[in-house]
Amino acid sequence: MPPSNLTLEDAQFMHDDLPFWKSKTLHEMTLAEWESLCDGCGRCCLIKLEDEDTGEIVHTRVSCALLNLRTCRCRDYGKRHVRVPDCVSLTPDRARDLEWLPDTCAYRLVARGEDLAWWHPLVSGSADTVHEAGISVREYAINEKRVKGEYERFLLKWE
């Protein structure tokens, strides 16, 4: 409970002092704010397989051909839907509901009202901390061009 001597102006100042991901909903964010939530882990760019009988989704270590495995960023972000027609667009409405998004995903965390991790670039001030913390796929992903469709050989379990 806020102190009783807190004025409306004080409360507004405190609200304005919060980082945007704590003071805005995903729907309220500007495009720049939305895009900056991506931590650059590359996990959403891993190929996923769905069991036809159970609907269970499993991740593989195989990345989309457009993922740069050094930076863990898309090589052609602006044209990704043209080049990879089944690339899923993440929206504020989908952020909470896409089961295959990792628990570490900033979009999922903010949609649930949770805070960003210490290694997120918006918190740490460095794009490298996501890699240093072992969150990114940099150390274990393999580009789909090298796999030739044998995705089952590269199943992955999140720890």
5 part of a folded domain: no
DSSP 60-85: EEEEPTTEETTTTEETTGGGHHHHST
Q: Is residue 1 part of a domain?
A: no
- In the chain (159 residues long), the average pLDDT of successive 10-residue segments reads 44 66 95 96 94 89 96 95 92 88 93 95 96 95 90 83
Q: Does 59 map to a domain?
A: yes
Range of the domain at 145: 18-156
pLDDT in tens, 57-98: 889 999 999 999 999 999 999 999 999 999 998 999 999 888
Query: How many domains is the chain partitioned into structurally?
Result: 1
Whether residue 8 lies inside any domain: the answer is: no
